[in-house]
Chains A and B, each alone.
Chain A
Amino acid sequence: AQSVAQPEDQVNVAEGNPLTVKCTYSVSGNPYLFWYVQYPNRGLQFLLKYITGDNLVKGSYGFEAEFNKSQTSFHLKKPSALVSDSALYFCAVKGNKLVFGAGTILRVKS
């Protein structure tokens, strides 16, 4: 069975600084990995996915994610955080179904 761990409940970063939201996964076979963002009282919005190919995946709103097979990680990154990036972020892995992590709250302070 597949699983996802997001080890940080919350990440705090100053506006303009780089941000990283961590994700590790466990799945049989090739991983299909996703990042989503959720704003209060809204549904999830798709940010980016890794299926195969380059280990650095670029997505929406300037976000990117680095796939590391040996560390079974798929960390979300952004070079310069915005206050408007403050939200709840979910990592997900697809095996026989899509499994979500518990989520990480990102707070960007001005």
Chain B
Amino acid sequence: DGGITQSPKYLFRKEGQNVTLSCEQNLNHDAMYWYRQDPGQGLRLIYYSQIVNDFQKGDIAEGYSVSREKKESFPLTVTSAQKNPTAFYLCASSAGNNQPQHFGDGTRLSIL
């Protein structure tokens, strides 16, 4: 089945630690996205990539970094500079600019 796989499902971060969230898709989509979901706030865009080796900042990129070395993969690193990282992180992909986005099942990040 085609889809988006996010791992791990749960992740804990210690103070001063960087952590990386994995996102892999086998839908052959060019565009990929990372969102942060907090209760009552909907989804906020962190980073997006419309093609391999290229990505742009979204609305809340500070404290996060990404890479897009392969079409299938778009990992997100939550750095120690992100002071409030506790949230539900969602990865998505789409076939084109106005096509629906397909979402993974998310990674829930908490602070130890």
- Name A residues whose Cβ lies closer than 8 Å to a Cβ of B: 9, 32, 34, 36, 41-46, 49, 51, 90, 94, 97-98, 100-103
User: Could you tell me the distance between the alpha carbons of A49 and B94 in the complex, rounded to whole angstroms?
Assistant: 14
Residues of B90-106 at the interface with A, using a CB-CB cut-off of 8 Å, are: 90, 92, 97-98, 100-106
Give 13 A-B contacts (CB < 8 Å), ordered by A residue.
Answer: A32-B98, A41-B105, A43-B6, A43-B105, A44-B90, A46-B101, A94-B98, A98-B33, A98-B45, A100-B43, A102-B40, A102-B42, A103-B42
At the interface, is chain A mostly helix, strand, loop or mixed?
strand
Quick check: A90 and B106 within 8 Å, CB to CB?
Answer: no
- Measured CB to CB, the nearest residue on chain B to A44 is B103
- Enumerate chain A residues within 8 angstroms of B6, measured Cβ to Cβ: 43
Instruction: Give the interface residue-count category, chain B.
Output: 20 to 34
Shortest Cβ distance from B94 into A: residue: A98
Chain A residue with Cβ nearest B101: A98
- What B residues does A102 contact at CB under 8 A? 40-42
Q: Which of B53-106 contact A (CB under 8 A)?
A: 58, 90, 92, 97-98, 100-106
Contact B105 A42 (CB under 8 A): yes
B101 CB, min distance to chain A CBs, angstroms: 7
